[in-house]
Amino acid sequence: MNKPSIEQALDRILPQVEKPARYTGGEFNSVVKDWEATPFRAALAFPDIYELGMSNLGLAILYDILNRQSNVLAERVYTPWPDMEAQLRAASVPLYSLETKHPLSDFDLIGFSLPYEQLYTNVLTMLDLGGVPLLASERDGRHPIVIAGGHATYNPDPMAAFVDAFVIGEGEEVIVEIVEAISNLKSQISNTKYQIPNDKGRLAILRRLAQISGVYVPRFYDVAYNDDGTVKNVTPNVEGAPVRVTKRIVPILPPPVTRFIVPFVDVTHNRAVVEIQRGCTRGCRFCHAGFVTRPVRERSVEEILEAVDAMVRETGFEQVALLSLSSSDYSHIGDLVRAISYKYADKHLSISLPSLRIESFSVDLAEMLKDGRQTGFTFAPEAATEAMRRRINKFIPDQQLLDTAREVFSRGWRTIKLYFMIGHPDETLDDVQAIADLAKAVLKEGRKAHGKAAQVNVGCSTFVPKPHTSFQWLPLDGEESVREKQRLLKNQLRGPGLKLSWTEPEQTLLEAFLSRGDRRLGPVILRAWQLGAKLDGWGEHFNIGAWRQAFAEQGLAPEFYARRPRPMDEVFPWDHIDIGVRKNFLGRDYVMSQAGETRVDCREHCFACGILPTFTKTRMNTPAEAWECPPVVPPHLRGVKQSDVIPLAAA
Taking phi over 0 as left and psi of -120 to 50 as alpha, with beta for the rest, 635 belongs to: alpha
Choose the stretch contacting ligand SF4; rule: CB under 6 A; options: 1-9, 41-49, 151-159, 599-607. Answer: 599-607
Among the listed ranges 17-25, 246-254, 339-347, 603-611, the one in contact with ligand SF4 (CB under 6 A) is 603-611
Candidate segments 30-38, 157-165, 187-195, 608-616, binder of ligand SF4 by CB under 6 A: 608-616
Instruction: Give the nearest distance from C-beta 43 to ligand SF4 in angstroms.
Output: 35
**C-alpha gyration radius of the chain:** 25
Nearest Cα to 53, choosing from 22, 32, 18?
22
Task: Output the smallest distance, CB 351 to ligand SF4, in A.
Answer: 28
Ranges within 251-310 binding ligand SF4 (CB under 6 A)? 281, 294-295
Beta carbon of residue 281, minimum distance to ligand SF4 (angstroms, whole number): 5
Residue (286 or 615) nearer to ligand SF4, CB: 615
Residue with Cβ nearer ligand SF4 (608 or 646): 608
Any idea what DSSP says for residue 219?
A: G
Q: How far apart are CA 440 and CA 454, in angstroms?
A: 11
Comparing CB distances to ligand SF4, the nearer of 292 and 405 is: 292
Give the residue among 111, 176, 109, 112 at the shortest CA–CA distance from 143: 109
Taking CA atoms, 299 is separated from 278, 279, 481, 581, in Å, by 9, 12, 44, 23
Nearer to ligand SF4, 35 or 607 (CB): 607
- Does residue 25 contact residue 98 with C-beta atoms inside 8 Å? yes
Out of 262, 387, 557, 606, point to the residue binding ligand SF4 (CB under 6 A): 606
Name the minimum Å distance from CB 620 to ligand SF4.
14
| d(C-alpha 165, C-alpha 147), whole Å | 5
Find the shortest distance in angstroms from Cβ 323 to ligand SF4.
19
Stretch that binds ligand SF4, among 401-409, 513-521, 605-613, 639-647 (CB under 6 A): 605-613
What type of residue is 531? L
Q: How far is the CB of 589 from ligand SF4 (least distance, A)?
A: 10
- Closer by beta carbon to ligand SF4, 295 or else 573: 295
Q: Cα separation of 181 and 444, whole Å?
A: 61
Nearer to ligand SF4, 132 or 612 (CB): 612
Measured from the CB of residue 616, what is the shortest distance to ligand SF4 in angstroms?
A: 11
Smaller CB separation from ligand SF4, 282 or 414: 282
Angle separating helix axes 301-315 and 333-343, nearest 10 degrees:
40
CB 350 within 8 A of CB 319: yes
581-594 residues labelled b (16+ CB within 10 A) or e (exposed): bbbebbebbbebbe
User: Which residues in 434-463 contact ligand SF4 (CB under 6 A)?
Assistant: none
- Contact range with ligand SF4 by CB under 6 A, out of 72-80, 241-249, 470-478, 602-610: 602-610
Q: Does 629 bind ligand SF4 (CB under 6 A)?
A: yes
Task: Out of 212, 363, 611, 633, name the contact with ligand SF4 by CB under 6 A.
Answer: 611
**Is the preceding omega at residue 295 within 30 degrees of 0, hence cis?**
yes
CA 113 to chain centre: 9
Instruction: Name the residue nearer to ligand SF4 (CB basis): 395 or 607.
Output: 607
The 272-275 sheet, strands edge to edge: 272-275, 319-323, 350-352
Q: In whole angstroms, how close is the CB of 505 to ligand SF4 at the nearest point?
A: 34
Which residue, 281 or 503, has its beta carbon nearer to ligand SF4? 281
* CA–CA separation, 57 and 260 (whole Å): 9
Asked if 586 touches ligand SF4 (CB under 6 A), the answer is no
Stretch that binds ligand SF4, among 241-249, 464-472, 527-535, 606-614 (CB under 6 A): 606-614
Counting DSSP H helices and E strands in the chain, the numbers are: 22, 19
The three-state secondary structure class of 77 is strand
Q: How far is the CB of 580 from ligand SF4 (least distance, A)?
A: 8
For residue 549, which of 565, 575, 516, 526 has the smallest C-alpha distance? 526
**What amino acid occupies position 641?**
K
221: Cα separation from own chain's centroid: 25
Nearer to ligand SF4, 80 or 295 (CB): 295
Q: Residue 52 or 612: which CB sits closer to ligand SF4? A: 612
Number of residues that bind ligand SF4 (CB under 6 A): 11
- Count how many Cα atoms sit within 13 Å of the Cα of residue 388 in the half-sphere of its side chain: 24
- Contact call for residues 41 and 108 (beta carbons, < 8 A): yes
Residue choice 109, 401, 602, 632 for contact with ligand SF4 (CB under 6 A): 602
Tell me whether residue 249 or residue 365 sits nearer to ligand SF4 (CB atom).
249
When the beta carbons of 317 and 607 are compared against ligand SF4, the nearer one is 607
Residue choice 607, 618, 624, 626 for contact with ligand SF4 (CB under 6 A): 607
Torsion over CA of 206, 112, 17 and 262, rounded to 10 degrees?
A: -130
Q: Please, which residue, 294 or 516, has the CB nearer to ligand SF4?
A: 294
Helix axes 3-13, 82-90, angle to 10 degrees: 120
The CA distance from 561 to 481, in Å, is 18
Stretch that binds ligand SF4, among 46-54, 233-241, 494-502, 607-615 (CB under 6 A): 607-615
AA letter at 398: D
Under rule CB under 6 A, residue 196 binds ligand SF4? no
**Does position 612 bind ligand SF4 by CB under 6 A?**
yes
Q: Tell me the β-bridge partners of 458.
A: 418, 500
> Strand 40-46's sheet: what is its strand order?
72-78, 40-46, 109-113, 145-149, 165-167, 215-216
Choices 398-406, 417-425, 459-467, 601-609 (CB under 6 A): range interacting with ligand SF4: 601-609
Which is closer to ligand SF4, CB of 438 or CB of 602?
A: 602
The nearest distance, CB 1 to ligand SF4, in angstroms, is 50
If you ran DSSP here, which 8-state letter would residue 107 be given?
A: S
Nearest to 514 by CA among 125, 154, 236: 154
Of 226-234, 438-446, 492-500, 609-617: span binding ligand SF4 (CB under 6 A): 609-617
- Shortest distance, CB of residue 599 to ligand SF4, whole angstroms? 9
Q: Which residues contact 172 (CB under 8 A, 6 or more apart)?
A: 61, 62, 65, 250, 254
> Pick from 609, 614, 631, 632: which binds ligand SF4 (CB under 6 A)?
609
For ligand SF4, the binding residues (CB under 6 A) are 281, 294-295, 602, 606-609, 611-612, 629
